[in-house]
Amino acid sequence: MFGQPTPPNPIDCDCSQVNTTLPIVLTIDRNTGQNDNCFKISVSTITPVFDCINIESVVLDFSEVPECFRKNFTLYKENPALPNNFISMGNIDLSNNPPPMITLSYSGFVPQQSQDVKWKLCPTGSIDCGMFFDFKIKYKFILKRKDQNGQDYFEDCNTYKYAQAGGRDDLSNVDFTNGNFQLSPLPIVNELIINNKEIEKFNVLILDINGNILKRYFDLNIGISKFDLNTLNSGVYFVKILQNNKLIYSNKIVKE
């Protein structure tokens, strides 16, 4: 029928497709509207055309998370038969040095029917990373393949990507200024330019008025940085700049 979306074509992917041709992304976000303080983990394909049906698992590497995140957590996996119903998969201690790598199994999920595979990582206590935090977690995929004889084997896509994780606190009432940063043009049409005089290695977040993170930029340095905001609708947004997981600059921008 006209107007109906074309369903994705399920295929057996190889690692080159997973990493490049059919980019599959992992996102980690603080649950919004929830009181459990958990982080939701989801895996989805960027392309609407293909879906990899042979992903066996995803491996998370927490070696680069800040010390404040190295706590005890409980891992939950969504029940495929009951969406939004989570089953405990046991406790994980990230306080070890180095913290353990976590393998999340796809068992029970059918990716081509649900592109949003979910887990939850819930701290057993509080996480005190300051007013706002944002950091990176490395991940890679393990695929289930078949050899020439039709026998199953596992292929390690030994190329790590980065997922961003952080709090989604409402910072709309905070207005810091820092003379090291100059934003232009104001208002913005399509591109935001930040002139940074002397701050090294910082991250930039673009948020909407509800505090939701829309864009993230990492490992920026001294000088002029340009950001393409063409995909954002006209309206008011917030620019947050962090260094070493601490907020050092916040300002409001208007996009025409």
Q: Which domain holds residue 212?
A: 181-255
Token pair of 125 as six digits: 């206590």
- Say whether both 187 and 212 belong to one domain: yes
Q: CA 12: distance to chain centroid?
A: 25
Measured CA to CA, the distance from residue 52 to residue 62 in angstroms comes to: 25
Identify whether 4 is part of a domain.
Answer: no
Please tell me the total count of domains within the chain: 2
- Say whether both 152 and 75 belong to one domain: yes
pLDDT at 191: 92
- Say whether both 69 and 188 belong to one domain: no
- Answer for the pair 104, 58: CB distance below 8 angstroms, yes or no: yes
Question: Cα angle at 165 between 161 and 170, to 5 degrees?
Answer: 150
Token pair of 233 as six digits: 């609708």
* Strand-strand pairing, 82-93 and 117-123: unpaired
pLDDT at 169: 41
> Which residue numbers in the chain have pLDDT < 70?
1-10, 20-37, 44-51, 107-117, 128-135, 164-178, 210-212, 245
DSSP state of 198: S
pLDDT at 8: 52
Token pair of 57 as six digits: 């698992």
pLDDT at 9: 59
The CATH number of the domain holding residue 59 is 2.60.40
pLDDT at 134: 60
- Say whether both 40 and 162 belong to one domain: yes
